[in-house]
Structures are given as structure tokens and as C-alpha cells.
Structure 1
């Protein structure tokens, strides 16, 4: 008796699910073995790790614990990893630096006190003149050897494109962006984004980011769940830059200059959004270009708290203005592994209580003025797994542009 078409499709889908689950189990076992395999490192590799640890773990004036259990070294501002960059050896930067921006005049030195009380344990955090840098262990470095290349390297490199073609894309996007135009001139951008904790495993990661780009130079800020980078499944703040072929998260290489003694750039967001709670936890973030010297600043919260900056001299294309801005979600999954959830881990329902979002989307024009974002396009790699919705005028008034994004991916476990 011939099998019915519907029954055949169901059997095929069941076989695909079984194959994906087997691949995921094999991947997790291999990944676990790779991390646990630290005892098999060669003597040369051990020496390399020790040298890298010395370079990253600068002498500490004070060691502090965060409420999430992380250990931070309070490093003298002038001895932080940023100044290992060969182009920053003869810098004239100092802890009280402020960007030349119209909105930075609203900055307050006490603006992050609410975050400080949420972050630090009873030891009170780092003193002024120092910057908090998370202590790096040998296990961290071994695990981070499995970090994937940046998404822009994957999409532009034929070697990675071939891999992606075999097992579908390893990076998946659901974003709102400015239409690409080489004549665009942006001095920065901002957003207020809801904070979630999508479930990821192994080398998967899931993030929300604001991205500023020109050519091969890229800046990103946002939140991220990334066990390979951080060693846990917490939702954390992150910064990332790419300058030509060099790229780096947080301060794992030289380039980003910290100025804040209060707010670590990889801090845990203890308060995250949950479905059914009637509202969302959110954070406000900006990437703005200093009009006086071209440095690119990361400003945090509505008070424009100065966290740090990327000096213009480490870039080529971003020595001037940016021409591409993106807001929204990105996930990563190795070849053959199911795609993880993004944002709130569900398909869009159309409200800020249940959907992940980036709101108050704005850009800085070439004169440094903050302007509404009206002309945008949406992009999503696979609408069967993720969705994005672009609403330029969510409510009456200025800066009411909202981008909703997210989806369950191929995960069988949704974090509700």
C-alpha cells in the first residue's frame, strides 16, 4: 500500500529532527572534550597561554567581586590593555576625558550609581582612576580558542561561505538597518533595548546589538548570551570592534579605552525580561563619534554615562563617518547544530511585554545632531525561524521608532 504524502512528510521531518539531535549531542561531546582537553596542551602552548595571561591580567590596585560572582581587577587607567596597541603608545588620554558631543553635556558623574549598586558586592567597586577588568583564567583562554570568526568574515570569506552553504548559515540575522548608500554620513546611533536571556548551548550564542560600520571597520554594543566567550549562560553587556582584519570583544585585545570605574563592559544583567510580567527590563546604549578628534564613544543609559571609547587612529574606514547602521538580533550556531532562540525566544506577538525590541532608534548626522530614523529596511535570514518588524512611528512624538525581532530558532526548549 503506497504511503500518503502527508505521512511521508511527517516521517521525513521526524528523521531530520533525530539527525539534528544526534549532531547536537556529538557536537556537545566534542566541544566538552575540547575544553576538558587542557591537560594535553603542549609545552609551547602552555607558555603561550601564560604569556597571554600576563598580558591581559594587568597589575591590580584592588580586586573586587561582583554580585554575579565575577572577579575584577581594578587596573590603573594608564596600565589597561588598550595601551598595548602600537598606535596608542604615545597617547594623551586621561580618566576624566569627555567627548565633544551636544548630548554629552547632559552627562552626570553619578549617572551610573544605580547600576553600581546592582553590580558590586559589599567591597564597593573600583576607585576613581582605575578601571574594572574581569580576571582572565587559563580555562577562559582555552575555551575562547573555539570562538567563531566574526559574521562579516564569514559572509565575505569564500572558505566560510562554502561551509555555510553545506549546513545553512552559521550566523542568522533579524535586523532593521539604514539603506546602504556610500554617501551616508553618520556620527553615531542609539537605542533602548529590552534585555532577555535566550537559551543557548555549547558554542551557540544569541545577542542583541547596535552596529555602526564603514567598510571593514565595525563597532558593536549590546547584550549577549555566549558560553564560549564568558563561560556561563548569563546575559552580559558587550562591546566589539573590528578594524580591518583585527577584531576583539571587550578588552581581550588592545584597542578599547575604558574610562568608567563603575561599569564593567562585560557585566551581568541580573534583571532580564520574562513573558507574562507585563513589562520589560531594558538598557539604553549609544555609539557616538567625538566631533573634536574622531574617537568613537560608548555611552550608557539615558544619562550618557561614559564607559569608554575606540580611538580613531586604530581605524582606517572609521577615521571618518559611518555609512551603515543596524539594530536587532543575531545568533550563531556551528555547522550541523540547530539554530538557537533569538530575543524573547518566540515569534512576534506585537507588544513590548512579550517581544524583544530596540526602540528610540536614532542616529547622529554629520553635524552631530540627533535625528529620527525614518528610512529603514528590514532583513531576516530565515523567516521560518526568526522575525523582524519595523515601526517608524510606534507612538506620536520624536524618537518613537521601534524594531521588534526574535524567534525560537530550531530549539525544542523555549525559555518562558
Structure 2
């Protein structure tokens, strides 16, 4: 059993044991014993999650950043990576043919790292936010995994009537996305994402904009995904800032996969960016009817090593090793771009905003966009995505529109306010 799986089993067993002890005795002694057992379990888990640090930086915002030896980062807890040789840089980048003109109306954002005010991580280390005891409670509940699948467009059967509780699942996660034609092999994608800070109704909900690179299916429980983008997720990050995130799974979100570096898998190579840390957020973000900001994200399969690399704002941050996947060990069958919101499936319609919180027909500076949407082909060249398919199951809540232009290439506007008089 993988370390992440063992940790989840341990945590679940802990929660069950604590509840049983408390209900059985109902007394001070039982509560005291349970509390002590919890402390021991928490300390054990934190020792696993927080790798030994070469250097430690206290961030002004209260976070502790551990500079961990690059060869001892969480990725290498994965059983497939025990003898993995780190690829320090990609063998090459996709050929940038056919890029479009930059608009003078948009500023290109960068990752703001608050902890840099107090230092930087040395070479051959990676910055990782130290996990705290209060974070462990969230790990117990979610272990960094999405509760419901994301790339709905890749499996049309996901909407069939025989899907258990399909209506509540749909209300739990809603999407407005564009998908590449499903008749080709893909080796990556690049797109420029408009940055916003949408309002999220509940702590356990989130709002995001991302790309999905996928292969496999839900039906066979072998859906492989690579995901990257920005999100607002108060329950995970303890605030409402817009943050970079990464995610992956190889079994349709059943047992594998997690956000950022919470579990093994993603190999970080950059010593500059703490992915998902509470001080790594996009700033500034766009203003309705005012200044617009965006950032470009590129994911591509290294043609020599076969690993899937991530570049954000021109910086290579790391990669997903091909060995952690089954279907994505080769090419991808589908690529998607767009927005997603999540809330409790039994909470009814959510007022969580997607994108800017406004519908796509409002256009530039008011609706959120993803532009210069490109695909990486088998020659490691970028080409404009054409013939995209749009999916918005609740268009009166969240919708998506597409178009092409000389400046923006293939683009979409997407989003919406969620709950409103026309949204069921």
C-alpha cells in the first residue's frame, strides 16, 4: 500500500476510534485518552508530511516555509518513484510557432511570494509550506482530493440517469468548459488565464479556472488527469485569495491524486515558487470594468524523458513523472479548459461565483476569459485549438462562449453568478 494510502487509512481509523471511545465511555477519562491518542497520531502524521528542512523561512503572513532537499520532497514517497532520477530541466520546450499578438489592454501577472521578504531557498531545495496541526483536520476530511470528478466532458455517461444521485452530484460541481476534439492524440496545452477573485459561498466550496489533460475513463476507473490553474478555496487555504494549484489522479479520483504537494506524485524543481502555499497567490487580480490581469500556463510532455512539465508565467516549476500514470504514460486523449465551482451536493444551488461572477456575453473586462488556447502536437509544436466543443449543463447559472481573433487566437469567455432568479 502506498504511503499516501496508508496515511489515509490511518487517519480514517483514528477518527473512527476517537468517535467510538468517546461515545462508549462518555466520560472524562475516555475524552482524555482519546485526546492523547489524537496527539500521538497527529505528531506521527506531521513527521511524515513535513520533510527535514535544509533551511526554514518564517513568512510575514505567518506561514513557515521549509526548504527541503529536492531529492527528499513528498513526490518520492510514491512507490513508482523510489529509484527515480530527477529531471532538473525539460529537454526542450514546445515550438512557439503561431503565437498571437499581446493585447495592450491586459497586464501579465506574476506569482507574488510573501516569504521572499525574509529569504530564499538555496539551490537544490524546494520550498514547501509546513503542515500544521489544524491543517491535519482538513487532511482527515479530504486528504487534498477532489470529492467529485472534474473533467465531465470526457465521459458523457457521467450524466446518464443510472448514475447514482446524479442530480445532487451535478449541483455539487458545475462546469463551463471548452474541450478539444476527441479524435486526436495530444501532448500538452498552453493557454492564458484571466485572473479574478470570485466569491465562494462556503468554506468547503471552491471556484477555479483550469486546464485538464486526460486519458482513460470513469467507466473503467482508469481516468488519468493532469490539472493546473487558479482557484479560490477557503477550506483548503484558510483565505479567499486566488492561488496557483496543481492536481492529478490515475484512477478517476478514487484513491490516487491530490492538490499541490499534499501527497506524492508531482516533482517540483523550482526553488522560487511554493505551489499552493498560503503566500503564493496571484496579485493583482482583474477589476470589473477596469484593469485586467492574466497569466499563461503551459503543460507539455517532454519528447525525450516522457514527463509532463508545468510552466507558469514563463517559469518551469516541475513535472508529473510519466511512471505515476497508466493512460497518460503516452499521449492524452482529451484536453479541456474552463471554470468549475463546487459546493455541498445537498446544499442546493450555490451563489459561488465562477470567473468574474458575470456571464460571458458581457465580454472583455467584465466576463472572465481564457485566450490563446493552443495544443501541443506530436512534433512538440503549439497549434491553435480549433473545433472546440462547449459544455455548460446549467447555462442560466454558468455559461461559456467561444470565438477566434487575430490577437487572441482561439478563446472562450465563461462564468456566471450561480444562484439567481433564472438559475434553478
Band the TM-score falls in, shorter-chain normalisation: 0.7 to 0.9
Alignment partners' CA distance in 2, 1:275 and 1:58: 42
Distance 1:351 1:158 in 2: 33
CA RMSD in angstroms comes to 2.9
What is the CA-CA distance between 1:373 and the residue it aligns to?
A: 0.7
Give the equivalent residue in structure 1 for 2:317.
307
Partner of 1:149: 147
Cα deviation, 1:143-202, whole Å, max 9, x if unaligned, reads: 243335242599859999534425753110000111323xx2111001110111111122
1:408 maps to which residue?
A: 417
C-alpha distance in 2 between matches for 1:73 and 1:377: 43
Instruction: Map residues 34-73 of structure 1 onto 2, 5 A cutoff.
Output: 45-66=38-59, 68-73=61-66
Change (3 A) 1:126 1:352: farther
Given that 1:234 and 1:268 are in contact with CA atoms closer than 8 Å, whether structure 2 keeps it comes out as: yes
Structure 1 unaligned segments of length 5 or more: list them: 1-33, 105-113
Which residue does 1:97 correspond to in 2?
89
Q: Confirm or deny that 1:242 pairs with 2:249.
A: yes
CA–CA distance in 2 between the matches of 1:39 and 1:388? 54
Counterpart residue number, 2:195: 195
Specify which of 374, 388, 401 is matched with residue 400 of structure 2. Answer: 388
Secondary structure, in 3 states, of the residue corresponding to 1:125?
coil
Does structure 1 residue 268 correspond to structure 2 residue 278? no
Q: Is the 8 A contact 2:112 2:282 kept in 1?
A: no
Q: Deviations over 1:74-113 (max 9, x none)?
A: 111111010111111111215x332333449xxxxxxxxx
Q: 2:338·2:414 contact (CA, 8 Å) conserved in 1?
A: yes
1:362 and 2:364 equivalent? Answer: no
Per the alignment, residue 173 of structure 1 pairs with: 175
Greater Cα offset, 267-276 or 381-390: 267-276
Partner of residue 231 from structure 1, selected from 224, 229, 238: 238
In structure 2, stretches of 5+ residues that fail to align are 1-18, 23-30, 97-108, 217-222
Counterpart residue number, 1:331 = 341
Distance 1:57 1:118, change over 3 A: closer
Aligned residues: 359
Q: C-alpha separation between the residues in 2 aligned to 1:363 and 1:39? A: 57
Corresponding residue of 1:285: 297
Q: CA deviation at 1:248?
A: 1.0
1:80 and 2:73 correspond: yes
Question: 3-state DSSP class of the match of 1:251?
Answer: coil
Contact 1:146 1:228 in 2 (8 A): no
Instruction: Report if the CA contact (8 A) 2:69-2:125 is conserved.
Output: yes
Deviation at 1:230, TM superposition (A): 1.5
| Secondary structure of the structure 1 residue equivalent to 2:65 | strand
Query: CA–CA distance in 1 between the matches of 2:203 and 2:163?
Result: 22
Equivalent residues of 2:95, 2:380 under 8 A apart: no
Q: Is the CA contact 1:189–1:288 (under 8 Å) kept in the aligned structure 2?
A: yes
Q: Which residue of structure 1 lines up, in the alignment, with residue 131 of structure 2?
A: 136
The CA deviation string for residues 265-302 of structure 1, in whole angstroms up to 9 with x for no partner, is 1121231112132x31111101100101210011111x
1:78 match: secondary structure:
helix
Work out the CA distance in 2 between the residues paired with 1:411 and 1:227.
23
CA distance in 2, matches of 1:158, 1:149: 19
State the SS of the aligned residue for 1:221. Answer: strand
Aligned residues of 1:140 and 1:231 also touching (Cα < 8 A): no
| Counterpart position of 1:296 | 308
Distance 1:164 1:359, change over 3 A: same
| TM-score (ref. length: structure 2) | 0.78
Return the alpha-carbon distance in structure 1 between the equivalents of residues 73 and 170 of structure 2. 40
TM-score normalised by length of structure 1: 0.79
